[in-house]
């Protein structure tokens, strides 16, 4: 099988590595890719926002399956263009990707499908915004309707900050605050059938103890030893299956990865958000643990054959990933500094994200520069490996959290007894 992978981040690096492990894979191409992905794939420097160019590339390479990593090309209709050209594609249509691209659309789908989520109002006027804020009270949760690259959501005790954030967008969703731990749970769907992956947890704040601004994600781990036994079953039943059925009923079947961001609240499980693609950095802990051949699985999803797929096969190991962020990330990341020590990391795996290669030297080229994943018999062992790995990498002014999976690793000992 010849596969073309779209994207250039740590998520795509993990996808490339996992696709490569599948014996069915003959050729792996990536557009645009990054210096880490180049170890697994042939890179093509094309503009992935230009749908006709990507379709032409896929045809020229006689690609059997295109896997789309990031949300932007999905919302931009790349999957539609590829399918129209008869190319099997893992990734939802622009309409189906609205589950991520429009908070208001996601709320409507959840409402119609009976999926548990925070109560909300969609507002366009000052009067509506004020009324909604006062209905729910503090802490206020204000979300811009469209894609906002992680900057669209504000959670604040300060009514003035909530108002100012709301006024920045023509359409906002204002909703009740959800308490309790957050979990990411991904489902792989062919539009009719959906298979749940194992849960992971992401650390969204920039600094230790969940201090600092929201980021794209500073680290992750899987599995979650503290999660309820029936979490996956419950999420399938209450969230993933009804959402897929609703999208199908609307004639916009969701073919690709449905990412459910969940809160385990005191009133039960609720959806915080949907994304229409693999999460980053959760993918860097999930795929190293997935034993099911990935190219075969994603091809089955892309071609409507998931019902025939075997149940997902997971290793019993634990994985922890820690993100190395550039100085100033997430507000104003500094780029263009040399990154050294990547090849000295032996036990852990380094997934590159914001990197560029020039004259044989690796440079920082984005806010989240790379992620180091450790895999071990326990979260404690996996953490140790990830932190040992990241400590050998140097990048001027960079920072990483020291508490990824720290609290959860305490459950290792409980499990052993
Ligand atoms: P989203 O882009 O919807 O995932 O929001 C980003 C982050 O804001 C989430 O990961 C949560 O930490 C937080 N958040 C979003 N919605 C809520 C909510 N209703 N209650 C509490 N926190 C929220
Ligand atoms: N891990 C958060 C995201 O992928 O959006």
Distance 280 CA to ligand 1 centre (A): 16
What does CATH list as the number for 318-416? 3.90.600.10
Q: Which regions of the chain are under pLDDT 70?
A: 150, 413-417
The angle, 0 to 180 degrees and rounded to 10, between the axes of the packed helices 103-113 and 94-101 is 100
Residue 150, pLDDT score: 65
Determine the pLDDT at residue 417.
42
Q: CA angle at residue 73 from 334 to 188, to 5 degrees?
A: 105
pLDDT at 135: 95
Q: What pLDDT is recorded for position 131?
A: 93
- The superfamily CATH assigns to domain 121-175 is ATP-grasp fold, A domain (3.30.1490.20)
Distance 153 CA to ligand 2 centre (A): 13
Closest CA to ligand 2's atom 5? 279
What is the residue with the minimal CA distance to atom 4 of ligand 2? 279
- CA-nearest of 77, 102, 105, 106 to 89 is 77
| Fold match between domain 180-308 and domain 318-416 | no
Q: Where does ligand 1 bind, in terms of residues with CB under 6 Å? A: 118, 141, 143, 153, 155, 175, 177-178, 182, 204, 214, 261, 272-273
pLDDT per position as a tens digit, 399-409: 999 999 999 99
The domain locations on the chain are: 2-90, 121-175, 180-308, 318-416
Nearest-angstrom CA–CA distance, 386 and 368: 16
pLDDT at residue 354, as a whole number: 97
The whole-model pTM stands at 0.96
pLDDT of amino acid 413:
57
pLDDT (0 to 100) of residue 5:
98
The atom of ligand 2 lying closest to the CA of 280 is 4
> What fold does the segment set 180-308 form as a domain?
D-amino Acid Aminotransferase; Chain A, domain 1 (3.30.470)
Q: Specify the pLDDT at position 415.
A: 53
Q: Judge contact between 69 and 300, C-beta under 8 A.
A: no
How is residue 207 written in tokens?
């600094």
Strand-pairing partners, residue 221, are 201, 320
- Best of 100, 121, 152, 153 for a ligand 1 pocket test (most atoms within 8 Å of beta carbon): 153
Pocket of ligand 2 (CB under 6 A): 202, 217, 275, 279-280, 282
Both tokens assigned to 322: 């820690």
Q: Write the class of the CATH domain 2-90.
A: alpha beta
What DSSP string describes 192-256? S-EEE---BEE--EEEGGGEEEE-S-SEEEES-TTS-TTHHHHHIIIIIHHHHHHHHHTT---EE
């Amino acid at each position: 099988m010849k596969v073309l992978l779209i994207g250039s981040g740590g998520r795509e690096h993990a996808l490339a590595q996992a696709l490569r492990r599948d014996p069915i894979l003959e050729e792996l191409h990536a557009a645009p890719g990054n210096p880490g992905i180049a170890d697994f794939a042939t890179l093509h420097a094309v503009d992935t926002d230009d749908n006709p160019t990507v379709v032409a590339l896929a045809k020229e390479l006689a690609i059997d399956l295109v896997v789309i990593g990031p949300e932007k090309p999905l919302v931009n209709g790349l999957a539609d263009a590829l399918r129209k050209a008869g190319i099997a594609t893992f990734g939802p249509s622009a309409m189906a990707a609205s589950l991520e691209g429009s908070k208001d659309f996601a709320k409507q789908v959840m409402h119609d499908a009976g999926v548990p989520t925070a109560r909300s109002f969609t507002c366009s006027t000052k009067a509506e915004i004020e009324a909604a804020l006062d209905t729910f009270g503090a802490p206020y949760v204000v979300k811009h309707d469209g894609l906002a690259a992680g900057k669209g959501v504000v959670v604040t005790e300060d009514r003035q900050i909530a108002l100012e954030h709301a006024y920045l967008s023509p359409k906002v969703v204002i909703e009740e605050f959800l308490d309790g731990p957050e979990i990411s749970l991904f489902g792989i769907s062919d539009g009719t059938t959906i298979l749940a992956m194992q849960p992971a947890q992401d650390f969204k704040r920039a600094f230790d103890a969940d201090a600092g601004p929201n980021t794209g994600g500073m680290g992750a781990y899987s599995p979650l030893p503290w999660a309820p036994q029936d979490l996956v079953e419950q999420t399938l039943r209450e969230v993933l299956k009804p959402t897929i059925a609703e999208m199908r009923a609307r004639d916009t079947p969701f073919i690709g990865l449905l990412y459910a961001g969940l809160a385990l609240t005191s009133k039960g499980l609720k959806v915080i958000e949907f994304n229409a693609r693999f999460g980053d950095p959760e993918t860097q802990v999930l795929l190293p643990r997935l034993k099911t051949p990935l190219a075969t699985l994603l091809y089955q999803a892309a071609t409507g054959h998931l019902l025939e797929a075997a149940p997902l096969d997971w290793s019993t190991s634990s994985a922890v990933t820690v993100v190395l962020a550039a100085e100033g990330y997430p507000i104003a990341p500094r780029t263009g500094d040399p990154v050294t020590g990547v090849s000295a990391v032996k036990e852990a795996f380094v997934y590159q994200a914001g990197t560029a290669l020039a004259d044989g030297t690796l440079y920082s080229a984005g806010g989240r520069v790379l992620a180091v994943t450790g895999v071990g018999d326990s979260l404690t062992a996996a953490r140790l490996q990830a932190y040992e790995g990241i400590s050998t990498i140097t990048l001027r002014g960079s920072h990483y959290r020291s508490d990824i999976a720290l609290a959860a690793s305490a459950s290792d000992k409980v499990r052993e007894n």
